[in-house]
Amino acid sequence: MSGYTQGTTIYGLRSQYYEGICCYGVIITARCDIAQEKVKALHVLSAISLRDWVCTELFDRAFHAYLENDILGPIKQWSKDNELDFDTLLTFGPNKTMVNINADTSLKAKNRNKLEKAVSQWEQWNQLSSCCSMDIRIKLLNGDLSSKKKSLLNELLSGRFPNDFYFLPGSACVPGREYFDGLVVNLRDIIQISLQEIDEIQKCELDYTALSKTKSGQERIQYLNKKFFLNCDNDFVDIIGYVDSPWIEHLVQNFSNTFARIGVNTLPKSKLSDFSDKYQVF
């Protein structure tokens, strides 16, 4: 009888989506297949703590929403008034956009100053996005981005990221972790773990300190470190519990919907908005 099943939660994984973050993994392989030993490998979905998700995924969305709506709002309105495509204008960048604005001789001084301020802020935020430390992210999340943070958190907790993320509260994890903010599962990130690897995890053999003391330890660590988070003495991979019912069933259902989803091309937001504004019923 194996010591793992669907819903078992593993700590110490790497994910292509979250470089430098020690991730969790929730096994989604069917219980019956595991019990009847019909699998050659396990499939898990990566997950990160709610705090890590807020500082990465949520921050990126809040940052770009604030940039587009709060900073670029005046430029968006000016492009609409002049029948210019806003999405195309964004690809020009701040400097070339300012050239286009300066070429508009009909602009009043007040509106020109407003646009110049927006372009200047745009340039500052562009520079900020390329070198944004964790301290700056936290400061922005608790400052300029606080309202966006609240809105996006509500969306996550209400299940409004059906094709991207699934939130697991601490109370859904066994043993009880009510003190734990929760995990955010990435529904698009499937990681495969071999039966040998899960066997080593169960035996607590994927431990940096223990491995480093073996004859071929460093070579083994280098190989494992591509999939597991084994950077230093404090790093290890372990089974920390499992996701309780009905949370695990609901998670797998959400994953199935995402996996089976058929994507279609959609129009840019600016074109959708223009279409809605101009559409008349006759």
pLDDT, tens digit, 9 for 90 and up, residues 104-133: 999 999 999 999 999 999 998 888 875 688
Query: In this predicted model, what pLDDT tens digit does every residue of 8-37 receive, in sequence order?
Result: 999 999 999 999 999 999 999 999 999 999
pLDDT at 46: 97
- pTM here is 0.83
- Name the pLDDT band for 47 (thresholds 50, 70, 90): very high
- Mean per-residue pLDDT, 197-212: 95
pLDDT at 178: 52
From 36-40, 44-48, 130-134, 136-140, the region with the lowest mean pLDDT: 130-134
Residue 24: name the closest of 38, 40, 10, 37 by CA: 10
Q: How far is it between the farthest Cα atoms of the chain?
A: 81
Question: The sheet that has 238-243: what strands, in order across it?
Answer: 165-168, 183-194, 41-49, 23-27, 8-13, 238-243, 173-174
Separation between Cα atoms, residue 273 and residue 282, nearest integer Å: 20
From 140-149, 161-170, 257-266, the region with the lowest mean pLDDT: 257-266
Percent of the chain whose pLDDT exceeds 90: 74
The one-letter amino acid code at 108 reads K
Round the average pLDDT of the chain to a whole number and report it.
Answer: 91
Residue 30: name the closest of 255, 262, 261, 257 by CA: 255
- Name the pLDDT band for 156 (thresholds 50, 70, 90): very high
Q: In terms of C-beta density within 10 A (0-12 exposed, 13-18 middle, 19 or more buried), how is residue 185 classed?
A: buried
Phi, psi angle pair for 185, to nearest 5°: -90, 135
Which stretches of the chain are assigned E, i.e. beta strand? 8-13, 23-27, 41-49, 165-168, 173-174, 183-194, 238-243
